[in-house]
Amino acid sequence: MFRLTNAPSAAQLTTTVDGVNGQANGRANGKEGDDQQCLYFVGNSLGAQPKAVRRHVDAQLETWASIGVNGHFTDMGNSPLTQWQDLAEDCAKKSADLVGAAPHEIVVMNTLTVNLHLLMASFYKPDARRHKIILEWKPFPSDHYAIESQVVWHGLDPEKSMVKIEPDEDSIIPTEKILRTIDEHADDTALLLLPGIQYYSGQLFDMATITAHAKARGIVVGWDLAHAAGNVELRLHDWDVDFACWCTYKYINAGPGAIAAAFVHEKHGAVEWAQGAERPSYRPRLAGWYGGDKSVRFNMENLFVPSAGAAGYQASNPSAIDLASLSGALSVFAKTRMKDLRSKALVLTAYAEHLLLRMRDEASGPEPLFRILTPADPLQRGTQLSVLLRDGLLDAVAEALEENGVICDKRKPGVIRVAPVPLYTRFEDVWMFMQVLRGALGLQR
């Protein structure tokens, strides 16, 4: 089995990834019973497991076994968890520093694509004049599917209502190009929906500047923060973002397919009662029982009175076991601050870049072995470096990395994405990774 080396005490991570519970991309050298350390550089796809997660999940299971349905309303002694009906709210509080928002602007629910659909149902309101959605040319496929299907759902033509911003030759989309696109389509655009970090290139967008520019032109602004939440500092409230969505299984380490979260600016979460009104007024949304205010939720009435804030956008009773896993993962972040994690990430990623560039410059031949797609400017990237290999190298390099106990992912046609996550990656791990990569590229170690 493999054992993760990336496990400092601050992160309190489990260390075992075995052939039964995930295989860690296979067994070292293909031998059963091997017990070798591995290097985990794929936290941008699935974060490593914090030890706290097991304790929190066990606590949830114990509550369920001990008191059953009463777990919804009972705080158990010696448990790290609150009662189940308050778990989502508790996780929202613990997420505030990660995304730069007030707890009441955060709701933990569903999965990322479902949340994109729910929030677009509320925020994408096309009419005869404003109907376009501005997006990037090649977002993560689920985002493209969600956007395109929303356009079609409204009876519109994706060819006319989807504005795709293409990158320059180096795979980067400059901020100036995004701003120009906004200006060009401002009069007929209803929504701008971009990723905080582009999954393929690792580019971190200037969210503050882009948001302000679009909103000044009357455009609703949403962000997919799948690769940004828990990775870089965010200020969603201060930037006046309308809504955002993110998963929690990458940099937040809540587990595969873990429950997701969303941000709704407080100005869109108001619930108001006019004098003498029988119904409250609030922003239209697809409503469900668990979005109802707790004070009247169990009256079992047909009058929907949403919770104030982002919680009013919740539709269903969230899974307590999923929330327990997320709560455990977030307890690790409570031991530090995003500001401090970002500071380490900047240096850690710069060190990885330095070693990569030295390797590239040492190689001989008419064509470089690889080039780094991710921007060289540290302020335009998170912890990920996307390395585009020379044509024909990807499969052999990926196989060599795997055989030497290195776990990172590949994206065709020729990219390996290297993610030194500051919460659990050491500088020693980066150096060791690069020595394995040197051998995979045929360079002398």
pLDDT over 80 (residue 434): yes
pLDDT over 60 (residue 92): yes
Phi, psi dihedral angles at 2 (to 5 degrees): -85, 155
Domain assignments of the chain as residue spans, ordered by start: 58-332, 337-441
Displacement of CA 174 from its chain's centroid (Å)? 22
pLDDT over 50 (residue 208): yes
Task: Give percent above pLDDT 70 in the chain.
Answer: 92
**What does 383-400 look like in DSSP terms, one character per residue?**
S-EEEEEPTT-HHHHHHH
Report which of residues 10 and 365 the model is more confident about: 365
pLDDT over 50 (residue 27): no
Report which of residues 103 and 295 the model is more confident about: 103
Q: Which of 197, 193, 90, 217 is nearest to 145 (CA)?
A: 193
The torsion defined by the Cα of 348, 352, 358 and 359, in degrees rounded to 10, comes to 160
113 labelled ligand-binding? yes
112 labelled ligand-binding? yes
**What does 90-137 look like in DSSP terms, one character per residue?**
HHHHHHHHHHT--GGGEEE-S-HHHHHHHHHHHH----SS--EEEEES
Tokens 């994706």 correspond to 158
Retrieve residue 403's tokens.
Answer: 């055989």
3-state secondary structure of 28: helix
Same CATH topology for 58-332 and 337-441: the answer is: no
Retrieve residue 299's tokens.
Answer: 């009256």
pLDDT in tens, 297-343: 888 999 999 999 999 999 999 999 999 999 999 999 999 999 999 99
pLDDT in tens, 5-14: 444 333 333 3
227 labelled ligand-binding? yes
Q: What pLDDT does 121 receive? A: 98
Across all residues in the chain, what is the average pLDDT?
91
Angle at the Cα of 188 from the Cα atoms of 184 and 189, rounded to 5 degrees: 85
Q: In CATH, what is the architecture of 58-332?
A: 3-Layer(aba) Sandwich (3.40)
pTM of the model: 0.92
Q: How far is CA 371 from CA 353, 368, 391, 421, in A?
A: 11, 7, 11, 21
156 labelled ligand-binding? no
Q: What is the CA radius of gyration of the chain?
A: 23
Helix, strand, coil % over all residues of the chain, rounded to 5: 40, 15, 45
pLDDT tier, 71 (very low <50, low <70, confident <90, very high otherwise): very high
Q: Span 182-211, mean pLDDT?
A: 98
140 labelled ligand-binding? yes
115 labelled ligand-binding? no
144 labelled ligand-binding? no
Q: What pLDDT does 365 receive? A: 74
142 labelled ligand-binding? yes
pLDDT in tens, 129-158: 999 999 999 999 999 999 999 999 999 999
Which element (helix H / strand E) includes 17? strand 16-17
- Taken in order 290, 293, 298, 299, the sign of the CA dihedral is negative
Best CATH choice for the domain 337-441 from the list 3.90.470.20, 3.90.1150.10, 1.20.1070.10, 3.40.50.1370: 3.90.1150.10
In the structure, how many helices (H) and strands (E) does the chain have?
12, 15
Distance between CA atoms of residues 144 and 34, nearest Å: 42
pLDDT in tens, 160-182: 999 999 999 888 999 999 999 99
46 labelled ligand-binding? no
Q: What pLDDT does 298 receive? A: 86
